[in-house]
Amino acid sequence: MASYVLTINSRQRDVIADPGTPLLWVLREHLKMRGTKYGCGIAACGACTVHVGGVATRSCVLPVSLVGARPIVTIEGMAADRVGRVVQEAWVSGDVVQCGYCQGGQIMTAVTLLKNVSKPTDSQIEQSMGGNICRCGTYVRIRAAIKQAAQQLG
Amino acid sequence: MTGRQNVAVLAAWIGMTVVVVRLVEAQSTRADGLAAWEQMYSVLTHPRCVNCHTATAYPQQGDDRHVHYFNVVRGRGGLGVPAFSCTTCHQQANADSTGVPGAAGWHLAPLSMQWQDLNDRILPSSAVCTAITDRSKNHNLDGPGLLRHHEGEPLVLWAFKPGRRADGTPRSVPPLTHDEFVRATRVWVKAGTPCPKS
Amino acid sequence: MLNRRSFIRVSAAAAGGLMMSMYFDHPSGAQQPTAPIFPPDAFVHVRPDGTIVIQVNRLECGQGTQTALPMILADEMDADWSQVRAELAPAEDLYKDPVFGVQMTGGSAAIANSFQQYRELGAKTRAMLVAAAAARWQVSRDECRAAKSVVYGPGNRSARYADLAAEAARQPIPDKVALKSAAGFGLIGTPTRRLDSRAKCEGALRFGLDLDVPQMQVAVLARPPVFGGRVRGLDDTAARSMAGVRDVFEIPLVHGTAIAIVADTFWTAKQARERLTVDWDLSGLERVDSARLRSAYQALAHTTGNIAVRRGDDDTLNRIPVARRMVADFEFPYLPHTPMEPENATIRFDGDRAEAWVPTQAPTEDQVAIADVLGLKPQQVTFHTEYAGGGFGRRSPFDCHIVREAAAVAKRLRGTPIKLVWTREDDVQGGYYRPVYVHHVEVGLDEQGMPAGWRHVIVGQSWVIGSGHWSEPFVTKDGVDLLGTQGTTDTRYRIPNFHVSAHHPRLNVPVTQLRSIGYTHNTFVMETLIDELATRAQADPIAYRLKLLDPSATTIRTPLMLLEEKSATWRRSLAPGHAVGIACNSDQSTGVACAVDVSIENNRPRIHRATVAINVGLAVNPLTVEAQCQGGLVFGLSQLMAKGAITVNDGHVEQRNFDGVPPPYMKDAPVAIDVHIVPSSEKPSGCGEPPVPVISPAVVNALFRLTGKRYRTLPLVSL
């Protein structure tokens, strides 16, 4: 067991956890932040995606001991993020979600894409979103929502 | 013979001896160098190294060198693509509790450093040696530069301490230790980085 | 005989407002032997602040019922849609499917079976609100009208629903009520965005796996490596020594036994499980093996099974010359559902009561199962239906094993809420797959290239036969599981001398329904064979189908013709290296037709575009219908993925996680999908499943035109 000071959505949170505990489970069980989801545990699906130091990161494979001082942003923090808000609005107006379980991860990934590429092409969208699984198959609306958000962001 | 003549004869004798000795040294060093290269090649083509020295738009994983799962792609600079980069999962150190290897600056070797063909077949020794010693391809590294790369590059060091898989089993390591690999590199560099003929 | 008059009992909620409870019996026309009466409960609650909470009698697992059903009610109720909220109903008799008589989500039945029900609920609520206003104003009801949660009376009078609710609750419930004509619909038929979208986009909506109850502990199970294995020995010293581990003990499974690890957190429980050493008794268990299974099934498929359809003359086929006959053998693998949210259930057992929170497609069956394990009556189990991260049929196994396991753990730790979690590995390896199927088909053609004789044998496990499930009498006949033959037995193609039989071997691999069930394989067989026949006849694939289909089969003819129209332009201007594939399907009430534009990239099919036409009768929410078509297509591609199969080797499932059995990612899915709904005012029918089966045959039909090969073995390992 060790102590960690984590900055999550601009708030400092103190956590005591086994060093090998993935950040996903620290968020969900130690901090009761349930927006970040468990889909596979092997970084195959992206449902656990958070931002660590600005990098889209799969929290299910990131031991809390390797976070360091890097700030963490979760899906709960997207409403306070300029790009995050636009992406969420595009998701809502595009009626993207079905079951919704993967969508937090999809949104976190899309936000990072749009922060790095202002007008992503179809091919760029497909590569950057290419590791996120949606079992309900909402990919067509995800593509459209990303393009819509890109337009909104100007 | 005068004293001056004696000195001249001695100098010539020393000079010839030096030349003879130098000739003998250079011949044995080349053979040693080639032998050292083959040792290096056995490391470079081990999965821990060759998995990121691909000719394709993807890395490989595992001892069976399968295509990296989950649609991971090379991207620009071998760093992956925005929002789905190598560092999306690979951190600065091995994550043994979750089975993801890590080291500072995890990324693919550039395509100029591909040690496989487009069908994921490992290139022969001569081809890899040629690529490594081609300064237009190897970031302009000379022999000492290559030695330093093998001594201290984090991803090279990682190959010898590659951490554990998710099931707890240790990843396999190259056939030499890092020290042995560096020693072989030194011998090879001293020999003038010789490459085997194809 | 029950009195078929339906009546409503209304009670005013303590906090004020109108709560509609309803005794409900079957709508006329339903063929049920007895019409059950539903005990009182609430469907609509008008709160004082104006919000209207509507109980949805289905699981929301992505298919959109938590929006579409409230739309229906709110429309007849003339409610302000912006004030409507949806809740998933708990397990109560009142929330049973009015046609099936059980509370369930499946069979794409929600809208079809609850359309009338929710309309009447809405209309009756409105009638009582209007009656309350009329009484207050001392005017006649005919002088009043309602719109957007306001009743308007003569002389500029108006009153908000929220203000009328208490008085409305005291009004008598009308026996009969007039429903709107289609022309009067304000919501029904209008593309309407989902009510749960924002919460899901903000990470705020709680799924079953997200549940947090005070004092809760998490359990994972160490399961036998072969189905039915039992614990023989256990060394749990290392596991127990971990901080946070509460208990380790054996529990019964439906088949075999397992070790439960209970801990403070999931991660601790999972780590502790890895430190267990379990000695499994695997003696006497059938060890299913995929390779041996193939051979056995192929042999069986060459013999006649239990007769499902026998139409015309068996012998005609034998008399058709060899040049006009063909034989085709098909193989389909075990398919996993892998919903994004792994299986879970949370249960607290208090001795004389229990409480459960489960993302489930079968709340009352689960409630009964939990009660059974805990020695309670079902009414003693308070059951909450949680939102599910995907269902696809996985969340209603007939044996209710998920909740049975959870209850067995909860029973040992009385008073402690237990959340049982399946890891993704548990999900992939835990069985309950779409079964392996093998088809053997012999076809004989007439001189015009139309089928003149057809002999079809289907081999595959049945999860229904012998289960004792309530549905068994409805879906089995003479030893045939119709859920295994649907798509063939109910084909609307006019095939004379049509002989279909089935074998249902029993194997030690649990199986269950997977979205679109029998159509997943039968439609593939039919649509690829029909395509082959069309090719042989040098006929256009759509024209050939229209010619072969029963002229009265409007359910499937209309989408096929709409597809023809909507895809004509792009089908005639394909890029080089691209090909079109066509497929169509219908169940009793919904028809779907699909055209795909396919090329080959990196040795895999690349689907540039799919056009879908669907006949769902009246489309209650066209936005949902479109979403289900788009999503259903992608789901249907699962069985084309190169590694899309579950395989079993000497009793052990070979795949562990998404690395072993990846579902379609974005690049595997069509880049673009346009959906066209056949305009209709017929009764609404379902759309959750019908799109799923058409995509795989459409894609391989296109591939044939690119490679010259017919693909009859799935998954599509290579081209």
Q: Across the interface, do C659 and B71 touch by the CB < 8 Å criterion?
A: no
Mutate to test the interface with A, among C666, C673, C689 (most CBs of A within 10 A): C666
Interchain contact C662–A (C-beta under 8 A) = yes
Over range C533-551, report the average pLDDT: 97
Q: Across the interface, do C662 and B168 touch by the CB < 8 Å criterion?
A: no
Q: Across the interface, do A61 and B89 touch by the CB < 8 Å criterion?
A: yes
**What is the three-class DSSP state of A34?**
coil
**What are chain B's partners, defined as 3 or more CB pairs within 8 angstroms?**
A, C
Interchain contact B197–C (C-beta under 8 A) = no
pLDDT score for C29: 33
Query: Under a CB-based contact definition with an 8 Å cutoff, are residues B98 and B90 in contact?
Result: no
Closest listed residue to residue C329, CA positions, set C421, C439, C230, C226: C439
Angle at C146 between CA C143 and CA C149, to 5 degrees: 150
Interchain contact C662–B (C-beta under 8 A) = yes
Low-confidence ranges of chain A (pLDDT < 50): none
pLDDT score for B13: 72
Mutate to test the interface with C, among A16, A51, A139 (most CBs of C within 10 A): A139
Range in B158-172, C160-174, C494-508, C626-640 with the lowest mean pLDDT: C160-174
Does the pLDDT value for residue B20 go beyond 70? no
Does the pLDDT value for residue C40 go beyond 80? no
CA B49 to chain centroid, in Å, comes to: 8
Report residue C596: phi and psi, to 5°: -125, 150
**For chain C, percent of residues with pLDDT exceeding 70:** 94
pLDDT score for C42: 65
Over range C268-284, report the average pLDDT: 97
Among B82, B85, B98, beta carbon nearest to A61 = B98
Does the pLDDT value for residue C653 go beyond 80? yes
Task: Give me the residues paired with residue C230 across strands.
Answer: C281
Does the pLDDT value for residue B52 go beyond 70? yes
pLDDT band at C21 (very low <50, low <70, confident <90, very high): very low
**What are chain A's partners, defined as 3 or more CB pairs within 8 angstroms?**
B, C
Over range C457-484, report the average pLDDT: 96
pLDDT band at C173 (very low <50, low <70, confident <90, very high): confident
Q: Contacts of residue C658 in chain B, CB cutoff 8 Å?
A: 69-70
**What is the three-class DSSP state of C307?**
strand
Amino acid C683 reads: K
CA distance B108 to chain A (A): 16
Interchain contact C279–B (C-beta under 8 A) = no
Q: Across the interface, do C209 and A79 touch by the CB < 8 Å criterion?
A: no
Letter string b/e over residues B85-102, b meaning 16 or more CB atoms within 10 A of that residue's CB: bbbbbbbebbbbbbbbbb
Among A104, A131, A142, beta carbon nearest to C203 = A104
DSSP C570-610: HHTSPPTT-EEEEEEEE-SS-EEEEEEEEEEETTEEEEEEE
pLDDT band at B19 (very low <50, low <70, confident <90, very high): low
Q: Contacts of residue B70 in chain A, CB cutoff 8 Å?
A: 43-44, 131
Termini Cα distance of chain B: 56
- Range 21-80 of A in CB contact (< 8 A) with B: 21-22, 41-44, 49, 55-58, 60-63, 66
Angle at C115 between CA C112 and CA C116, to 5 degrees: 120
pLDDT band at B10 (very low <50, low <70, confident <90, very high): confident
Query: What kind of fold does domain C302-334+433-707 have according to CATH?
Result: Aldehyde Oxidoreductase; domain 4 (3.30.365)
Q: How far apart are CA A111 and CA A98, in angstroms?
A: 19
- Nearest-CA residue of chain B relative to A19? B97
Q: Across the interface, do B83 and A129 touch by the CB < 8 Å criterion?
A: yes
Query: What kind of fold does domain C5-201 have according to CATH?
Result: Aldehyde Oxidoreductase; domain 4 (3.30.365)
Q: Across the interface, do B69 and C274 touch by the CB < 8 Å criterion?
A: no
Task: Give me the residues paired with residue C677 across strands.
Answer: C614
Mutate to test the interface with C, among A96, A98, A102, A113 (most CBs of C within 10 A): A98
- What residue ranges do the domains of chain C occupy? 5-201, 208-283+343-421, 302-334+433-707
pLDDT band at B8 (very low <50, low <70, confident <90, very high): confident
What tokens does A111 get? 């936000």
Distances (CA, A) of C329 to C229, C481, C493: 34, 20, 20
Domains and CATH numbers, chain A: 2-76 (3.10.20.30), 81-153 (1.10.150.120)
CATH number of this structure's domain C208-283+343-421, picked from the four choices 2.60.40.10, 3.30.365.10, 3.30.160.20, 3.40.50.300: 3.30.365.10
Task: Give me the residues paired with residue C261 across strands.
Answer: C220, C248
Mutate to test the interface with A, among B98, B107, B164 (most CBs of A within 10 A): B98
Query: Under a CB-based contact definition with an 8 Å cutoff, are residues C482 and C518 in contact?
Result: yes
Cβ-based burial of C361 (10 A; exposed 0-12, middle 13-18, buried ≥19): buried
Closest listed residue to residue B133, CA positions, set B120, B147, B119: B147
Q: Contacts of residue B71 in chain C, CB cutoff 8 Å?
A: 665, 667
Cβ-based burial of C573 (10 A; exposed 0-12, middle 13-18, buried ≥19): exposed
What tokens does C495 get? 């095939």
pLDDT band at C159 (very low <50, low <70, confident <90, very high): very high
CA distance B161 to chain A (A): 17
pLDDT score for C646: 98
SS3 string of C217-281? Answer: EEEEEECCCCCCCEEEEEECHHHHCCCCEEEEEEEECCCCEEEEEEECCHHHHHHHHHCCEEEEE
pLDDT score for B6: 78
pLDDT one-digit tens code per residue, C57-112: 999 999 999 999 999 999 999 999 999 999 999 888 889 898 888 899 998 899 99
Q: Across the interface, do B69 and C659 touch by the CB < 8 Å criterion?
A: yes
pLDDT one-digit tens code per residue, B84-117: 999 999 999 999 999 999 999 999 999 999 999 9
Interchain contact C392–A (C-beta under 8 A) = yes
Over range C182-200, report the average pLDDT: 96
**For chain C, percent of residues with pLDDT exceeding 90:** 89
pLDDT score for C24: 28
Mutate to test the interface with C, among B66, B70, B100 (most CBs of C within 10 A): B70
Range in B67-76, C6-15, C101-110, C440-449 with the lowest mean pLDDT: C6-15
Q: Contacts of residue B67 in chain C, CB cutoff 8 Å?
A: none
Task: Give me the residues paired with residue C53 across strands.
Answer: C45, C85
pLDDT score for B15: 63
What tokens does C196 get? 């749960």
pLDDT one-digit tens code per residue, C571-585: 999 999 999 999 999
Amino acid C181 reads: S
pLDDT score for C614: 98
Average pLDDT, chain C: 92
pLDDT score for B21: 54
**What is the three-class DSSP state of A122?**
helix
Q: Across the interface, do A98 and C627 touch by the CB < 8 Å criterion?
A: yes
Does the pLDDT value for residue C4 go beyond 50? no
Report residue C651: phi and psi, to 5°: 85, -10
Sequence-ordered alpha helix ranges (H) in C302-400: 316-319, 363-374
pLDDT one-digit tens code per residue, C280-308: 999 999 999 999 999 999 999 999 999 99
Does the pLDDT value for residue C248 go beyond 70? yes
- Range 569-598 of C in CB contact (< 8 A) with A: none
Please name the helix (run of DSSP H) or strand (run of DSSP E) that holds residue C515, with its range, or none.
Answer: none
Closest listed residue to residue A59, CA positions, set A86, A38, A29: A38
pLDDT band at C314 (very low <50, low <70, confident <90, very high): confident
Q: How far apart are CA C370 and CA C407, in angstroms?
A: 6
SS3 string of C57-81? Answer: CCCCCCCCHHHHHHHHHHHHHCCCH
**What is the three-class DSSP state of B100?**
strand
pLDDT score for B22: 55
CA A7 to chain centroid, in Å, comes to: 16
pLDDT score for C171: 87
